[in-house]
Chains A and B, each alone.
Chain A
Amino acid sequence: MSDIKGTENKSAIPKDDEEKRVGVFVCECGVNIGGVVNTKAVADYIGTLPGVKVTSVNKFTCSDSGQADIQAKIKEHNLNRVVVAACSPKTHEPTFRACIEEMGLNQYFLEFVNIRDHCSWIHMWEKEKATEKAKDLVRMGVERSKLLEPLQASEVPVTDKALVIGAGVAGMQSALDLADMGFHVYLVEKEPSIGGRMARFDKVFPTNDCSICILGPKMVEVARNKNIHIMSYSEVKAVDGYVGNFNVKIEHKPRYLDVAKCTGCAKCSEVCPVEVPYDFNEGLGTRKAIYVPFPQAVPLRALIDMDNCISCKACAKACESKAINYDMEPSYTDVNVGVIIGAVGFKTYDPEPRHDFGYGLYDNIITAMEFERLLNAAGPTGGHVVRPSDCKEPIRVGFVNCVGSRDKNTNIYCSGVCCMYTIKNAQLLKEKRPETDHTIMYIDIRTPFRGYEESYNRSRNLGVKFLRGRPVEVTEDPVTKNIKVRVEDTLTQEMRNLEFDLMVLATGIVPNEGIGQIQQLLKLSKAADGLLMEAHPKLKPVDTTIDGVFLAGCASGPKDIPYAVSQGSACAGRATIMLKNKKAITEGITAVVNPDVCVGCEVCISMCPFQAIRMDEQAVKANVVKALCKGCGTCVAACPTGALEQSHFKNNQILAQVKNVFKFQEVAA
């Protein structure tokens, strides 16, 4: 094996004259590939290519026996290049890199060809064409493999601190677990208090425990933990660096008072003359322009809503600890962390713009979150559910499920939690006021986890009615302001005309505000539904494609509380692997300069977004700082002289693939 991994100069001029002995391993992936592609025909054809010493077809190449086969053949045929034709390198390349490395081959001597996702799965009814395509793809891989050069993955040190973005129940769990393992955690929350959405729920299904009663102590636990540094009313503004060494700029929005002096006594609120809709109560009831977010807030400190403050300065006079400071500016903290956990949460679907089911047109249609706050003893009505038009307690209550979920016009996915919270909400009101009458209009009732079906049964036993159908017409009685609904009961296939005193929409889970900003700061992928993507939907549910960045909670899709808490813990566990090892492995793929060809034009420097290319002023040559280079290759494509190359994606390697897309027809048509 030649040692061209060293300096840039050497790797630009490969001296790898060793004969290439390629082994090709075609995977059937059970019937996933084998059911469409004639794998034997592919292997037979590939076996005729120059340099291919052995081919093998395995039922599952990734299995123990499949990997043993690769290792045995490396030994038997003294292979120095391995081509695996199977699924996606994005999921399985590390497996086979490790497999060949165990046999003493450089891991970058593996070429991975995707004949499943890019072939058998998308040409299921064109078996012959799929087989021909697979031959092309493997041939491209074989020719590329012969040009692969050894590279060294590098180790980077990991700062043993973590950043958790979002202090909802998932983020708090991550922070607590990491802190309990002895790591310092910065917990950043954009709202003035930690707690997230869960702090606003009245009771939580399926056990109907009081939400803040179980969350409150956890919030206090977070605040008490010496290893957790809460940064509330703060936002991440910039993220720089890479796994092990992220530099993060955090903005602290001004509260217009000194947090160290404020005691949270709320005397300021008492004297404040301004009343605005109370956001914590979903805009129901009012709060003052200076206010403590809610009674259990952590930190229990006031803040001034400057958009609504009239600068009467009454609060400054009332404040005994002289905490008020009207001239406060945003301040910033720079932190260095090894890992980042994104627990940026969700918001509920807003039915106002589309007036779904008459929301926003008729007074007595509210969302489930509004209903939740009305049920809450600390809510705007002290726990009395009243209807907005006349503040009377409703008798007939209708619930509409799947609002903003399972709907082509809004979100196609199921939000997962709405069936259960609707069942719970109906139960709670029924228990409070047994004279009430509840009808839940649903598409399907989904109760998959422990205790959920039991809760559903309990609702039915309490007399909550379930009607399978979606309202087709919603109108308001102009006199009584009652809501009239036409709905087909799809089980009996009868049209029903129902009248409700109050109707509640079970709005779904949608991506939180600012999720796009977090996505761009952390360089994550966003799915078509606007939610962030995990590295693998099943096997790496909390990892992302960015090393050292993890996701917990609803940022990556709707979740209930136990699921979000589990993910919070899972992220802490995954992050601890890096934090405890104090090192992470990064790809060896970087740009390299051939100084003999470089003319010092600096085009590459203007291309690099990571400032990884510096000029060697004396030699007037570009120089790649490997620790900073992320290996995108943009500078390589821009280099006018061809002095730059990207290791593992060199021009000759790419062109070998291009050339081998095609083959000369042996027999003229």
Chain B
Amino acid sequence: MSGVAGQTAAKTDGWEPKIVAFCCNWCSYGGADSAGMGRFQQPASARIIRVMCSGRIDPLHVFNAFLEGADAVLVTGCHIGDCHYVNGNDKTKIKYKYLENVAHELGIEKERLQLNWISASEGEKFANFIRDVTAQIKKLGPSPLKPEGVA
């Protein structure tokens, strides 16, 4: 953790956090596509990883992302009731509670782990979400779990 102070000090206006966004194929990934189609500009902070359903998102993926250096991790899926696989997102919601608790135990600020339901048509919502999270993370600075030398 010795690098944290240095990185925080090095944090300037130019610093762009790295955000790992897990998106489901049917809704939130489509929402990110719609953001593109609508040219809704957003900070170049998010790196999207596509899974078929938010129910596939495993704590393993989320905490590995933090350990690798993610400044924030986003869990996104279809709106409740709209899951392509009936109710995968209901299970995501339950699992997310657990993720939140573990993240809290690990000292990860709550802004760094966020859940959002975004439909395939909600491009603007997707862009706003990325913009809001990026602004929050810029205030917080790099993640305390970020290994030294990682960008």
Interface residues of A (CB under 8 A from B): 88-90, 114, 116-119, 121-126, 129-130, 132-133, 136-137, 140, 519-520, 523, 525-529, 533, 545, 589, 607, 609-610, 630-634, 636-638, 646, 649, 651, 654-655, 657-659, 661-665, 668-669
Would B68 and A525 count as touching, CB distance under 8 A? no
Chain B residue at minimum C-beta to C-beta distance from A655: B64
The minimal Cβ–Cβ distance linking B82 to chain A, given in whole angstroms, is 7
B117 / chain A contacts, CB cutoff of 8 Å: none
Q: CB-defined interface of B25-67 with A at 8 Å, one 1/0 digit per residue?
A: 1110110110111011110101111111101111011001100
In the complex, A655 Cα to B49 Cα: how many Å? 10
Would B151 and A632 count as touching, CB distance under 8 A? no
Q: B91 near A: Cβ within 8 Å?
A: yes
Would A637 and B33 count as touching, CB distance under 8 A? no
Would B91 and A638 count as touching, CB distance under 8 A? yes
With contact pairs A114-B33, A124-B39 given, residues A646 and B56 touching in the complex (Cβ less than 8 Å): yes
Would A662 and B36 count as touching, CB distance under 8 A? no
Q: Identify which of B57, B58, B121 contacts A528 (C-beta below 8 A).
A: B121
**Beyond the given A661-B69, A662-B70, could you list 6 further A-B residue pairs with CB under 8 A, ordered by the A residue number?**
A116-B36, A525-B120, A525-B121, A636-B56, A655-B60, A662-B151
Chain A residue at minimum C-beta to C-beta distance from B66: A658
In the complex, A646 Cα to B58 Cα: how many Å? 12
In the complex, A632 Cα to B127 Cα: how many Å? 25
Would B82 and A525 count as touching, CB distance under 8 A? yes
Q: B149 near A: Cβ within 8 Å?
A: yes
With contact pairs A525-B26, A528-B122 given, residues A633 and B56 touching in the complex (Cβ less than 8 Å): yes
In the complex, A634 Cα to B25 Cα: how many Å? 13
Would B49 and A657 count as touching, CB distance under 8 A? yes
In the complex, A89 Cα to B44 Cα: how many Å? 20
A89 / chain B contacts, CB cutoff of 8 Å: 50
B35 / chain A contacts, CB cutoff of 8 Å: 117, 122
Q: B110 near A: Cβ within 8 Å?
A: no
Chain A residue at minimum C-beta to C-beta distance from B84: A523
With contact pairs A520-B81, A633-B55 given, residues A88 and B42 touching in the complex (Cβ less than 8 Å): no
B119 / chain A contacts, CB cutoff of 8 Å: 525-528
Chain A residue at minimum C-beta to C-beta distance from B27: A525
The minimal Cβ–Cβ distance linking A20 to chain B, given in whole angstroms, is 20
- A sample of 14 cross-chain residue pairs with beta-carbon separation below 8 angstroms, ordered by A number, consists of A114-B33, A121-B36, A122-B35, A133-B47, A523-B84, A525-B121, A526-B82, A526-B121, A528-B119, A529-B121, A632-B53, A632-B88, A637-B58, A663-B150
* Most chain B beta-carbon contacts within 10 A, residue among A119, A527, A609, A668: A609
A609 / chain B contacts, CB cutoff of 8 Å: 85-88
Q: B95 near A: Cβ within 8 Å?
A: yes
Q: B112 near A: Cβ within 8 Å?
A: no
The minimal Cβ–Cβ distance linking B69 to chain A, given in whole angstroms, is 4
In the complex, A168 Cα to B13 Cα: how many Å? 58
Would A136 and B47 count as touching, CB distance under 8 A? yes
A649 / chain B contacts, CB cutoff of 8 Å: 51-52, 56
Chain A residue at minimum C-beta to C-beta distance from B54: A634
Would B36 and A118 count as touching, CB distance under 8 A? yes
Would A636 and B58 count as touching, CB distance under 8 A? yes
Q: B133 near A: Cβ within 8 Å?
A: no
Would B37 and A661 count as touching, CB distance under 8 A? no
With contact pairs A525-B27, A632-B56, A669-B10 given, residues A661 and B121 touching in the complex (Cβ less than 8 Å): no
Would A140 and B47 count as touching, CB distance under 8 A? yes
The minimal Cβ–Cβ distance linking B57 to chain A, given in whole angstroms, is 6
Would A117 and B36 count as touching, CB distance under 8 A? yes
Would A118 and B32 count as touching, CB distance under 8 A? yes
Chain B residue at minimum C-beta to C-beta distance from A125: B41
Those 10 A-B pairs whose CB atoms lie nearest each other, nearest first: A117-B36, A634-B55, A633-B56, A609-B86, A632-B53, A632-B85, A527-B121, A129-B44, A121-B36, A637-B58
With contact pairs A123-B41, A523-B84, A658-B68 given, residues A665 and B26 touching in the complex (Cβ less than 8 Å): no
Q: Identify which of B6, B18, B42, B56 contacts A662 (C-beta below 8 A).
A: B18
Chain A residue at minimum C-beta to C-beta distance from B130: A122
Q: B20 near A: Cβ within 8 Å?
A: yes
In the complex, A126 Cα to B149 Cα: how many Å? 24
With contact pairs A630-B85, A651-B60, A654-B49 given, residues A117 and B44 touching in the complex (Cβ less than 8 Å): no
B6 / chain A contacts, CB cutoff of 8 Å: 669
Q: Identify which of B25, B52, B122 contacts A646 (C-beta below 8 A).
A: B52
In the complex, A498 Cα to B131 Cα: how many Å? 48
The minimal Cβ–Cβ distance linking A538 to chain B, given in whole angstroms, is 11
In the complex, A89 Cα to B87 Cα: how many Å? 24
With contact pairs A132-B44, A637-B58, A665-B150 given, residues A631 and B52 touching in the complex (Cβ less than 8 Å): yes
For chain B, residues 92 to 151, give those with C-beta under 8 angstroms from any C-beta of chain A.
95, 119-122, 127, 149-151
The minimal Cβ–Cβ distance linking B95 to chain A, given in whole angstroms, is 7
The minimal Cβ–Cβ distance linking B41 to chain A, given in whole angstroms, is 6
Q: Identify which of A122, A662, A664 contacts B127 (C-beta below 8 A).
A: A122
Q: Identify which of B52, B88, B151 contacts A589 (C-beta below 8 A).
A: B52
In the complex, A269 Cα to B74 Cα: how many Å? 62
Would B55 and A658 count as touching, CB distance under 8 A? no
Would A662 and B41 count as touching, CB distance under 8 A? no
In the complex, A664 Cα to B88 Cα: how many Å? 35
